[in-house]
Amino acid sequence: MSGLPRDGQLIVIDTNPLYIDYLKATISDSRFVPVLGSAADVEDIVRAHGHDHADYVLSGLPFSTLPDGVGPAIAAATHRVLRPGGAFLVYQFSAKARDFMARHFTHIDAGFEPLNVLPCKLFWGWKD
């Protein structure tokens, strides 16, 4: 986490308690905060850790396979919690996440990483 400022904080949210326990046991940097929870609750989680907003949100969630309504809820909550000029960064194997993002982000950059196994689509939704 060498690129994270001294006063920065990296909040990681996951629904798998074994993964959260592993992160807690292996990463000792005080700026790193693993949270057991849902990305749909990102606003509450960010605020519970003393922040009004997030600068960036990174997601590898499989938007194309989430239950109905969950993907749009996550995209909406993420847009609300971002500061102006912040970004929602998504890496996916399908373009479904972009569809959810487009409802909230007017500026979306796209990229592609062919060396990833499987090749991966990248989207950056910028908050105005």
pTM of the model: 0.87
Q: Are residues 60 and 119 in the same domain?
A: yes
Residue 44 located in a structural domain: no
- pLDDT tens-place string over residues 66-82: 899 998 999 999 999 99
Residue 45 located in a structural domain: no
Q: Are residues 31 and 57 in the same domain?
A: no
φ, ψ for residue 57 (rounded to 5)?
-130, 130
Q: Are residues 91 and 28 in the same domain?
A: no
Q: Are residues 21 and 83 in the same domain?
A: no
| CATH code of the domain in which 79 resides | 3.40.50.150
Residue 42 located in a structural domain: no
- pLDDT tens-place string over residues 20-52: 999 999 999 999 999 999 999 999 999 999 999
User: Domain of 7?
Assistant: 1-37
pLDDT at 6 over 70: yes
Residue 81 located in a structural domain: yes
Cα–Cα distances in angstroms (integers) from residue 61 to residues 30, 46, 64, 66, 75, in the given order: 25, 18, 9, 8, 11
Q: Are residues 79 and 111 in the same domain?
A: yes
Q: Where are the alpha helices (DSSP H) in the chain?
A: 17-26, 42-48, 70-81, 96-102
Q: Are residues 120 and 79 in the same domain?
A: yes
